[in-house]
Amino acid sequence: MQSFKVLRYKPSDKAVWNNFVLDSNQQTFLFQRDFMDYHSDRFEDHSLMFYKNNKLIGLLPANKLDNEVCSHQGLTYGGFIYDATIKSEDAIGIMRGTLEFLNENGILNFIVKELPYIYLNNPTNNPFTYLCFKVKAQLNRTDMHSVLDPKFKAYSRSRNNGYKRGKKNHLLVEETNDFALFWNSILIPNLDKKHEVKPVHTLEEIKLLKSRFPNQIRQFNVYYQDNIVAGTTIFETKNVAHSQYISGNADKNTLGSLDYLHHYLLEEVFANKPYFNFGISNIEEGQKINEGLLYWKEGFGARSINQGFYTIKTENYKLLEDVFV
């Protein structure tokens, strides 16, 4: 008889967790503990580890909030991390085991955010939508990520004209290990002026993460007459270059700085990357779309893929007891 068990993650499991992540069905460094734990003071970790016959077959990055457990709220995406060769039977067992374990420990709801398929090593091995159907998950929110395969980029007239303005203005794009200039001169002032918010990562946090993931976190700045005018912070994984932050000064349209920057990234730096993710243009918990921002992203040829956010009642683990006939 096969033995299946669910265990809470503890700090002594760090090496085992990280090794599993590196050899799993996905390929993002955000699930490494050195990334997850940089803001451990803000979240009550409730990550889970799944074993079958004493072999680790899955992980769940998560945190606890009152009587709910959430796909880790400090991460852009979440969901289950599976063994790279997992079959549907075990994926169903992991979902059932998660809900039953949480239910037995007084957790009423499991809040899960989807991992977009572009981050999967094998997109055909992803039973998540079926599992949500079976356990009567409630879809609370959907975000749209603007994603481009650089091999099929198609610049609109506006994006081409912006690139030409940048070239005419002799803009210079440089990669740098120093985040302070972009954070203090461009990003923080813009977010404060437009949205009255601060970056998700403080300058100290992004510098810390850069030290831990020097090849995955990259900063590109744009200069006009030796002054910074725009920039982007890229989180790079095996298959995806994701713009974590994009921002330019008040002259970005006149100078063409953001168009010039992303033309350079798509043509020179990430031309062979399977996907370039410009991120979401949604606001108000997915209910509305920043039309101008979406228009700009789609001007490079990007199109939308969905990311769902679900609530699952933990008592619904019983709905997975008779799946197979």
Q: What is the pLDDT of residues 30-83, one digit of tens each?
A: 999 999 999 888 999 999 999 999 999 999 999 999 999 999 999 999 999 999
pLDDT value, residue 2: 59
Whether 124 shows a pLDDT value over 80: the answer reads no
Whether 125 shows a pLDDT value over 90: the answer reads no
What average pLDDT does this structure show over 186-195? 92
The answer to whether the CB of 305 falls within 8 A of the CB of 116 is yes
Whether 187 shows a pLDDT value over 90: the answer reads yes
Other beta carbons within 10 Å of 214? 10
Whether 275 shows a pLDDT value over 50: the answer reads yes
pLDDT value, residue 194: 84
pTM for the model: 0.94
Of 9-13, 86-90, 102-106, 293-297, where does mean pLDDT reach its minimum? Answer: 86-90
- Structural domains for the chain: 4-142+307-320 (3.40.630.30), 150-273 (3.40.630.30)
Whether 86 shows a pLDDT value over 80: the answer reads yes
Name beta bridge partners: 110: 69, 312
What average pLDDT does this structure show over 256-282? 97
Q: Which two tokens stand for residue 65?
A: 């909030």
Share of the chain above pLDDT 70, in %: 99
- Sequence-separated (6 or more) residues with CB below 8 Å from residue 244: 232, 233, 234, 235, 279
pLDDT value, residue 1: 39
What average pLDDT does this structure show over 182-196? 93
Helices (H), the chain: 14-22, 33-36, 88-104, 128-134, 157-168, 180-182, 188-195, 203-212, 252-255, 257-264, 291-298
pLDDT value, residue 91: 94
pLDDT value, residue 92: 94
What average pLDDT does this structure show over 303-311? 96
Which amino acid, 201? H
The answer to whether the CB of 44 falls within 8 A of the CB of 72 is no
- Sequence-separated (6 or more) residues with CB below 8 Å from residue 164: 256
> What pLDDT band is residue 322 in, cutting at 50, 70 and 90?
confident
Of 278, 298, 274, the closest CA to residue 149 belongs to 274
Whether 292 shows a pLDDT value over 80: the answer reads yes
